[in-house]
Structure 1
Amino acid sequence: MPSFADIKSQAIKAKDSAADKFSNTKDRYQGNPSKNVDPRSKPPPPPPPPLRSNHSPSSPGRSQLDSSGPPPPIVRSTRPEAPSHSPSPSSSPLPSKSPTPGLPLPPTRRFNTPPKPAPPQDADSIDWANLSHEDKQAFFSWLDEFFVKFTGDDSFIPKDRNQKPAPTNKFRVPSSVKGAVASIVDKKGQGPPPPIATWSKPSAPASVPSPQPVLSVPASSDNFTSYPPQPTHGSAAEDLAYYFHPSTHWDSAWYNQQPPVNPPAMNKGDLFSMSGQTSRRGNVEERVLFYGVFCRDLSMFWGKLKITTRGSAPPDPNQIERSARFLPCPQPLDKETLINAHNTYGETIASFAEGYVEAQQYCARGECWDLASEGLKCFEQFDYVEKPIPSLAHTHGHLIASFNADVPGTPIGMWRGGDDRVRRGDIVQWKSVKMDIHVGWARGTATLGAPDHTSIVVTDLVPGCPVKNGEWLDVAKFGTLEVAEQSVSTGELPKKATYDLGGLKQGEVWIYRPVGMKTYIGTEFSPICPESIETQSI
C-alpha cells in the first residue's frame, strides 16, 4: 500500500505536467486567456481569400471542393467581365496570408454566361461585293430605264454600258420561257412569240449614232452571189428614182388604181408604204401622193407625185409632176458598231428561237423564215430600243459573210464589216445548198433550201481562217455553224442543228447581223422623206 508521501509526490507531478501542457498549448496557438473564452460560442468564419485582379462578385451558383487540393482553374469561356468601377482607395487591403491549416478552403465560384442569340439572317440578302457582270448590267439598265423615263434625257448613259462578255456555249433557256411558249401555243395555236426573259431583255443604247461608212468593199467582190439582184444603176432605190424621173415614159396610169398598187419598177419583197392628200377648188382637183420603198439591198427610196385633174378629163401620165430622192446601199460598219448591235439584239433573237425549240411548237406559220422575221418583230414591245431592220425577202440586217459553191472550182466566200466572228443571234440564209456531213464514221449529204431556208445562229463561231472586210475566205476552214431552225413543209419541228461550211458543195449562203435601222440606214422608214437626212436625186 503506497504511503501518503508517494500519493503526494504523484499529485505534484500530475499538477506540473498539466501546467506544462497548458503553457505549451497557449504558446503554440497564441490563444486568448481562458477567461474570455465562451464555450457556447461558434468558431469564427474563415478569413476571405486574397483579392485577385480577375475575380469579381458574380452569380450565386457554386460548388464545394475538397480542402486537400487547390481550386480548379477558371474556365475562360465562363469568366465574367471585370466591373467598370475600382475599389475605393480608402479601403484597407485584405490579409494575404494563407488560411489556417485544418480549415476548409473557400469554395470556388463558377460563372455560366448564357450564349448570345445568333442575329437573324436575311433570306434575301445580296452579296453586293460579288455581283456578276450580267447582274451589274441588268441592275444599271433598270436604273437607266427609270431615269430616262423620268427625265426624258438619255445623254447621261455611258457609251460602254452595253458592253458585256460574249455569251458562252452553255446557255440554257429558263423553264419559264419554255412554259410560256407552250401555254401560248395551247391557248392560241401558233401564237405570238414567247415573252422575252429578263436576262435577255435588250439593253437601251446610249444614243443612236449616225452612220459611219468607214469601210468599203472592193469592186471586184460585187455580184459573186445571185442575191440581191444586180440593179441597172447603183442600187434598187436609184433604179426607182430613174423610173420617177420626168424623162421616163409611163405607159399606164398605175397611180390611179384602187386599191393603190406598188410602182411597177419596184421589186418583189421590198417594203412599201404610201400616203396622200387631196384638195379641191371648183372643178380642179389636186392630189399629192407619197411613196416610200425600203429595198432588199437596204437602199431607200421616196417618190412624190402631184396630179392635177380638171373636170372629168383623166390626167396625162406624162404631165404629172414627179420628184424622187433616195439613199444608196449602206457601207459596211466597223467592229464596235457591229458588236453593239449584237449586244442589243443578238441574245434576244437567239433565246426567242430556242424557246420554240424547247417547247417543240412552230413559230407563226411554221415556215423557216418566220423564226427570223418574228424574232426581229418582237422588239416592237420595247419602246426604248431602236427598231431593227426587218426581214426583207432574204435580207435580215447587215451582211457579215457570203458564200457561193455554184462557181467553177472550189467554193468562194467573202467577209464584210469590221467584226471578227459570227455571233449568237445572227441569221443565216441558205439557197439550194448541199453539203457533206460527217457524224462519227457516218457520211451523208444535207440539203438546205428548196430553194430557200433560214436559220438562227445560237453559238458564237470564230472562223478558222483569217477574216477582214472585203477579203476572200478560205471556205474549207471557216468552221461549223450551230443553228436553230424549223420547217413545216418538211414536217420538222423547231430543232437545233450543226453545219460545217467546209463541206459546202452546192448553193449559196449569207450570214446577217441584226442592226438598228437608224444606226445603219440613218432614218426610220416612212412614205415621206425626212428633211433632216442627206439624200441623193437624179
Structure 2
Amino acid sequence: MPTFAELREQAKKAGSMAGSQVNSLRDRFNQPASSSPSSGGSHSFRSGSISSPPPMAKKPPMPPPVRGAGGAPPPPMRTPSSPDAPPAMPARGLPPSLPSRTQSSAPSHVSAGSAPGGIDWANLTEDDKYAFFSLLDEYFARRGLHDAPAGAQGGAPVSTPFPFTGAGSHAHQRAVLRTNPSQTHTRAALDSQQFHLDTPPTSMTSATICEFFLPSTHWPSAWYEDKKGSLPPPVVGSKDVQGGGRWSSYGDEMTRIGYVLFADLSVLWYRVQWNSQRHDPNSVQREAMYRPPPEPWSSDLLRWANELYGEELVAFAENSEAAGQPIGRGECWDLAHSGLQSILTNPATAHFPKPVQSISRTHGHLFFAGSGAANYNAQVGRWRGGDDRVRRGDIVEWNRVKIQTTDGGRMTLGDPEHTAIIVAVPDEPIPSAADGADVKPYELGWLEVVEQSKAHPPMRRRYDMSKFSEGKVWIYRPVPDEYIGPGLTAEWPPQQPAYSL
C-alpha cells in the first residue's frame, strides 16, 4: 500500500495538468515559417520561424475570487523623491535585445501505470483516497476551481458547477472536474476585481449584459426571432462589441446561440430556446454565462508578444509616415487597426499567430492606465502585468489630454479619444513597474509616436510625459488572440471558464 508521501507526490504531479493552455499555445504558435515570398511592398523586418511562447507562471484567465473572501490589500501609494520636478529624462534609445527563447518541455501527465512505486489505484483504502483528494482539493482551491459555500457572498445560495461525492466516513467533499469548466456566481464576484482605470469609458460589460438573460428581466419583443441580427438588444448598434450567432430548429422547437466580445475583452455566451407557435417572449428558455476580462500576463509572455509584433507595427507606422498618405479613412484609430490587420495580410508574417484585433479603443493587453495632473502628486496611474517598461510597437490611447511635446509645443490629444503607435521610448525600465503597482504618468519619461488625423497624414511626434497635465492615457501591448481564449465562437455551453448570475 502506498505511503502518504507517495500520495502527496502523485497529487503534485496531477497539478501539472494545469499547464494544458501552455501546450495549446506552444502547439499553435511553433509553426514553420510561411514559404510564400514577401511582396515588394512588405514592411516586415524579418521572416522565418517564430519562437515558442514562454511557460506561464500561473494559470491564465480564471474567474475572479468571491467578494468578501479576502485578498491582497491595494498597492501602497508612493511619493516621488522630488515632488517639485519629475526625474531627469533618460536618453533616447531602443529596448535592449531579448535573449533567444528555447522551447520548454511539455508538462508531464500522471497515469496509474507510470506511477512510481506501482501504486494500485483500484485498491486504495478510504483513508488513502481521502488524503489524496484532500491534496487535490488544496491544489484546485488555490487556482479558483472550487466554488464558495452556499451563501458565502451574502446573497442567494450559490449553486455549484461540480458534483460532489463523499470520501468514506469523512465529512469532506471533493471536486470532480467536468469537461465544461463553467461556474455560477453572483455579480459581486466580478465587482471584487474591478480596476477602475482599466479600459476607456464603456457602459457595457459581459456581466451587465448577462443580467438581460435572467428570467426576471422583461423582454418587450421576440428579438431572438430576427435571423438578420446576431446580437442581443442591449448591444445592438454599439461600437464597443463584436459577436456572432447561429440558429437551429427541430420542428417547432427553435434555438439561438450566440456570443459577444466586449471592449474590456470579457465575453458573454447565451442560448435562447422557444416554440415557434408560442408568441410570449417571457416564456422562452434563456441562459447566459460570462467570462470576466483576462488576467494580466507575466513578464515573459508580454515580452514574447512584443518580440512577435512590436517591430512589425513600428515598420508599418514608419512606412506609413514615409509614404505621407493617410491610412484608411485618415482617422487616428485606423493607423493602429490597419497595423494589426497588416500582420495577417503581409506574406512575411501571415504564419504568425493572429493578434487580438482592435475593438473599440482596446488594442490587446492593457498594461498601463493613468490620469494626468499638473501637480505630480495628484497624478494617478496603475501598472498591469509583468513587463517593466513600455516598448516599441505598443499602442497608446489618449482621452482629452493636454500635454507638451519635447520641443515645447502644446498639444490637445483626443476629442474625446486619440490613437497612436509608439515607435521609440526611453531605454530604461519604469522604476517600480510591477503588476498592480502605482505608477504615475510622468514616470514614463517620454513617448515618441507615429499618429495621423483627418487634417494630417501619418507623422512623428515625441510627447513629454512630465508635461502631461490633464486627461487620461491607456497603453496596450498587442498579443495573440489566445489571450482572450481559444476559438471564440457561438457555442453552448461555453468551453472556457465562465460564470452564471
TM-score scaled to structure 1, two decimals? 0.57
Note the C-alpha offset of 1:196.
3.6
Could you tell me which amino acid in structure 1 is paired with residue 46 of structure 2? S
User: Residue 487 of structure 2 corresponds to which residue in structure 1?
Assistant: 524
User: Residue 446 of structure 1 corresponds to which residue in structure 2?
Assistant: 411
Q: Any idea what SS the aligned residue of 1:380 has?
A: helix
**Residues 438, 431 of structure 1: CA spacing in aligned structure 2 closer, same or farther, 3 A cutoff?**
same
Q: Any idea what SS the aligned residue of 1:265 has?
A: helix
CA distance in 2, matches of 1:358, 1:256: 51
Note the C-alpha offset of 1:468.
1.4
Note the C-alpha offset of 1:201.
4.0
User: Residue 479 of structure 2 corresponds to which residue in structure 1?
Assistant: 515
Structure 1 residue aligned with 2:368, among 387, 391, 401? 401
**Residues 252, 492 of structure 1: CA spacing in aligned structure 2 closer, same or farther, 3 A cutoff?**
same
The answer (yes or no) to whether the contact 1:334–1:419 under 8 Å persists in 2 is: yes
| More off after superposition, 396-405 vs 381-390 | 381-390
CA distance in 2, matches of 1:256, 1:516: 35
The answer (yes or no) to whether the contact 2:200–2:474 under 8 Å persists in 1 is: no
Structure 1: runs of 5 or more not aligned = 1-152, 163-175, 181-194
CA distance in 2, matches of 1:316, 1:435: 56
Larger radius of gyration: 1
Instruction: Say whether 1:251 aligns with 2:251.
Output: no
**Residues 214, 155 of structure 1: CA spacing in aligned structure 2 closer, same or farther, 3 A cutoff?**
closer
The answer (yes or no) to whether the contact 1:396–1:513 under 8 Å persists in 2 is: yes
CA distance in 2, matches of 1:360, 1:202: 30
Could you tell me which amino acid in structure 2 is paired with residue 501 of structure 1? M
User: Residue 496 of structure 2 corresponds to which residue in structure 1?
Assistant: 533
Superimposed CA distance per residue, residues 327-361 of structure 1 (whole angstroms, 9 cap, x where no aligned partner): 11111110000011111111111111111111111
**Residues 348, 438 of structure 1: CA spacing in aligned structure 2 closer, same or farther, 3 A cutoff?**
closer
Note the C-alpha offset of 1:454.
0.3
Note the C-alpha offset of 1:224.
4.5
Q: Give the CA RMSD over aligned residues.
A: 3.4
Could you tell me which amino acid in structure 2 is paired with residue 238 of structure 1? A
Q: Which has the higher contact order (CA 8 A, sep 6+)?
A: 2
**Residues 432, 411 of structure 1: CA spacing in aligned structure 2 closer, same or farther, 3 A cutoff?**
same
User: Residue 438 of structure 2 corresponds to which residue in structure 1?
Assistant: 472
Note the C-alpha offset of 1:309.
1.3
**Residues 444, 376 of structure 1: CA spacing in aligned structure 2 closer, same or farther, 3 A cutoff?**
closer
Could you tell me which amino acid in structure 2 is paired with residue 477 of structure 1? E
Q: Any idea what SS the aligned residue of 1:239 has?
A: helix
User: Residue 271 of structure 1 corresponds to which residue in structure 2?
Assistant: 242
CA distance in 1, matches of 2:315, 2:333: 16
CA distance in 2, matches of 1:261, 1:155: 32
User: Residue 337 of structure 2 corresponds to which residue in structure 1?
Assistant: 373
Note the C-alpha offset of 1:476.
2.8
Q: Any idea what SS the aligned residue of 2:301 has?
A: helix
Structure 2 residue aligned with 1:481, among 438, 447, 470? 447
Structure 2 residue aligned with 1:436, among 371, 382, 404? 404
Q: Any idea what SS the aligned residue of 1:358 has?
A: helix
The answer (yes or no) to whether the contact 2:43–2:319 under 8 Å persists in 1 is: no
**Residues 436, 261 of structure 1: CA spacing in aligned structure 2 closer, same or farther, 3 A cutoff?**
same
TM-score scaled to structure 2, two decimals? 0.61
CA distance in 1, matches of 2:450, 2:321: 7
Could you tell me which amino acid in structure 2 is paired with residue 278 of structure 1? S
CA distance in 1, matches of 2:224, 2:27: 44
Percent identical = 34
User: Residue 61 of structure 1 corresponds to which residue in structure 2?
Assistant: none
The answer (yes or no) to whether the contact 2:310–2:391 under 8 Å persists in 1 is: yes
User: Residue 291 of structure 2 corresponds to which residue in structure 1?
Assistant: 327
CA distance in 2, matches of 1:240, 1:445: 41
User: Residue 418 of structure 1 corresponds to which residue in structure 2?
Assistant: 386
User: Residue 309 of structure 1 corresponds to which residue in structure 2?
Assistant: 276
CA distance in 2, matches of 1:466, 1:207: 25
Note the C-alpha offset of 1:378.
2.1
Note the C-alpha offset of 1:475.
3.0
Note the C-alpha offset of 1:203.
4.7
The answer (yes or no) to whether the contact 1:250–1:317 under 8 Å persists in 2 is: yes
**Residues 291, 422 of structure 1: CA spacing in aligned structure 2 closer, same or farther, 3 A cutoff?**
same
Superimposed CA distance per residue, residues 183-241 of structure 1 (whole angstroms, 9 cap, x where no aligned partner): xxxxxxxxxxxx343x334854536977834999977585543844477xxx8112222
Note the C-alpha offset of 1:158.
8.1
Q: Aligned ranges for residues 270-309 of structure 1 at < 5 Å?
A: 270-280=241-251, 285-309=252-276
Superimposed CA distance per residue, residues 55-77 of structure 1 (whole angstroms, 9 cap, x where no aligned partner): xxxxxxxxxxxxxxxxxxxxxxx
**Residues 405, 223 of structure 1: CA spacing in aligned structure 2 closer, same or farther, 3 A cutoff?**
farther
The answer (yes or no) to whether the contact 1:203–1:344 under 8 Å persists in 2 is: no
The answer (yes or no) to whether the contact 2:381–2:438 under 8 Å persists in 1 is: yes
User: Residue 103 of structure 1 corresponds to which residue in structure 2?
Assistant: none
Instruction: Say whether 1:392 aligns with 2:359.
Output: yes
CA distance in 1, matches of 2:382, 2:198: 14
Could you tell me which amino acid in structure 2 is paired with residue 274 of structure 1? G
**Residues 155, 309 of structure 1: CA spacing in aligned structure 2 closer, same or farther, 3 A cutoff?**
closer
Could you tell me which amino acid in structure 2 is paired with residue 262 of structure 1? L
**Residues 257, 218 of structure 1: CA spacing in aligned structure 2 closer, same or farther, 3 A cutoff?**
farther
Q: Any idea what SS the aligned residue of 1:390 has?
A: coil
CA distance in 2, matches of 1:239, 1:292: 14
Could you tell me which amino acid in structure 2 is paired with residue 296 of structure 1? A
CA distance in 1, matches of 2:494, 2:430: 46
CA distance in 2, matches of 1:458, 1:202: 23
**Residues 424, 203 of structure 1: CA spacing in aligned structure 2 closer, same or farther, 3 A cutoff?**
farther
Superimposed CA distance per residue, residues 155-198 of structure 1 (whole angstroms, 9 cap, x where no aligned partner): 69989x99xxxxxxxxxxxxx99x83xxxxxxxxxxxxxx343x
CA distance in 2, matches of 1:430, 1:456: 12
Note the C-alpha offset of 1:301.
1.0
**Residues 319, 464 of structure 1: CA spacing in aligned structure 2 closer, same or farther, 3 A cutoff?**
closer
Structure 2: runs of 5 or more not aligned = 1-24, 65-70, 76-193
Q: Any idea what SS the aligned residue of 1:326 has?
A: strand
Q: Aligned ranges for residues 28-177 of structure 1 at < 5 Å?
A: none
Superimposed CA distance per residue, residues 279-322 of structure 1 (whole angstroms, 9 cap, x where no aligned partner): 33xxxx22211111011111111111112112xxx521111111
CA distance in 2, matches of 1:257, 1:532: 26
